[in-house]
Structure 1
Amino acid sequence: MNVFSEPEQRSDSTDVLRSDGTESAVTETPMFRLGRILFGGILAFNALDNLRNLQGRVDYADAKDTPLARVSVPAISGSLLLGGLSVALWRAPVAGATAVASFLIGVTPMMHDFWNAEDEEQQQQELIHFLKNTALLGGALAFLEIAQREE
């Protein structure tokens, strides 16, 4: 194999070449499976935690002036739970990754508005959560792209 030669063109950009020379879908690789289980599983766990501590989450959302917090917090937590499980299990992954991305797009600037923090410690904590959620959004978008290519 010449490492300086042009790579072969493949018809499906979600295929990978295995060490034995055969091709398989990226979604069938152990690393991808582990990644989606960790990503989706942790998000589903966080959603369950939101639902178990619902009153505290509603109170926090009320403090952030979230509209209809008593309705929106359980609804979006349920959406995150279903989205996380969908990605982890790779069942209806387009819908699941879309649900996760929608959750993060809506929640992140509303709940982690570091620019409105009153003291430096609170600003730092909100910035950490904002950046963490932004990174998770990147992961959700990557899973969404792969899921759409599989359809």
Structure 2
Amino acid sequence: MDVVALIGRILFVLLFLGSAFGHLTQADAMAGYASSRGVPQAKLAVLGSGVLMLIGALMVLLGIWLDLGALLLVIFLVPTALLMHPFWKETDAMAKQTEMISFQKDIALAGAALLILALYAGYGPGLGITITGPLF
């Protein structure tokens, strides 16, 4: 089961690593979109969220205070869902559906990250291959 948990962690963080890379290398373009969604100090928010995702994803991937890494991803995901995908504000049916899907994806990923946090904080190194034990 250790290998299965490791494979699950790898698959889970691939999305965040790719997104973090985009945030850090295409910050200006992403800041324009974030600004259009009403995010204050959009470029700083894009860069900060890119760093948050990168650190959280690497911690989960490598098993270094994996529970803290999962919490960092939750801290990224919930505000992103609320700020960037407010489907309830959309009037166009297609836009509303698109934003609802993105909102639900972010919330589901936050739930998965919370589950990872709880499992690793509760069972520690007995649940998969890690470099360190849990922080919490």
Q: TM-score, normalised by structure 2?
A: 0.85
Q: Which residue of 2 aligns with 1:114?
A: 87
Show structure 1 runs of 4+ deviating over 4 A.
none
Distance 2:104 2:88 in 1: 13
Count residues in correspondence: 124
Partner of 1:81: 54
Deviation at 1:66, TM superposition (A): 0.7
Cα RMSD for the two superposed structures: 1.2
Give 1:41 shift: 2.4
Percent identical:
30
Which runs of 5 or more residues in structure 1 are unaligned?
1-27
Equivalent of 2:13 in 40, 55, 61: 40
Higher relative CO (Cα under 8 Å, sequence separation at least 6) belongs to 2
Between the aligned partners of 2:114 and 2:33, the Cα distance in structure 1 is 27
CA distance in 2: counterparts of 1:122 and 1:56, whole angstroms: 20
Matching of residues 62-77 of structure 1 within 5 Å: 62-77=35-50
Question: Which residue of 22, 31, 35 maps to 2:4?
Answer: 31
Structure 1 residue 71 displacement after superposition: 1.1
Where is the helix percentage greater, Structure 1 or Structure 2? 2
Unaligned runs of 5+ in 2: 125-133
